[in-house]
Amino acid sequence: MTIYIKKSLEIQKVKKLLDENETLLFILTVDEFSRDYIINLQNEFPNHLVSQIKWMNKLYIVPSISTETVLENLNEFYKCFELFDKTAHSLMNLMSDTFNINLKNSSELYDLKRNRSEKQRGNLNNEWKYHFHGKGCSFTNSVTNQFLDVQINNGLEFGELDTYYLMKFIQTTKSLKEMSLILNSESNNMQKVIEILWINEYLVKLPRGTNDELIINRNKKPVDNNTYK
């Protein structure tokens, strides 16, 4: 159900609407949704995903895995993000070494993309293939079929998270099979994990980002399901 509103609704009104509709989409025409409001809604509806499309001023609430499930598997989900982050930076460094380019200089990446690659594609070594597209570069391991996509327009920060590509990375990484089963190929479930880790400060905003792009918080890591640092 799509609802146009001029200001954020009280939680009880949202609850009533959710009792009557499986999914809700709010489009705010005057005000904007605060982060605290979104967090309060997410805490109120643990069996749903509450997420904002900031640049469109939209907020949607849809069924998802429970907050409890995410927190019960917090360690393992964090490891998914951590492995993605490390692999993304490792592959970009491998690209730098392979083609002798300075990653600090965006023009050198652009030159590799436009002039030194066949249809913006190529090989890093016998295992890894790359494919530039838009503001990203995807990597595929020809031996394991592991796949990940890296945003290359953030300077030396290559860990920007994308719901679709993060889930594809988890699905194609053998060591993350258990988490892939929990996500069940549902993008709402992947986004729910992202939201809960963000709420708990295991993810942070990308510096100089424009639409709440997120990266892993490298200064906060779960120790176990009950202890954090």
Block mean pLDDT (10 aa), the chain, length 229: 93 95 94 93 97 91 98 97 98 96 93 93 96 95 97 94 97 97 97 97 90 92 61
What pLDDT is recorded for position 30? Answer: 86
What does residue 202 show for φ and ψ, rounded to 5 degrees? -85, -10
What pLDDT is recorded for position 229? Answer: 39
Closest to 45 measured CA to CA, from 187, 188, 213: 188
Helix axes 187-199, 35-44, angle to 10 degrees: 120
Extract the tokens encoding 54. Answer: 């900031």
**2-63: CATH topology:** Ribosomal Protein S8; Chain: A, domain 1 (3.30.1370)
What pLDDT is recorded for position 160? Answer: 97
**Distances, alpha carbon 169 to alpha carbons 28, 62, 99, 208, 216, in Å:** 33, 23, 25, 25, 15
Range list for CATH 3.30.1370 in the chain:
2-63
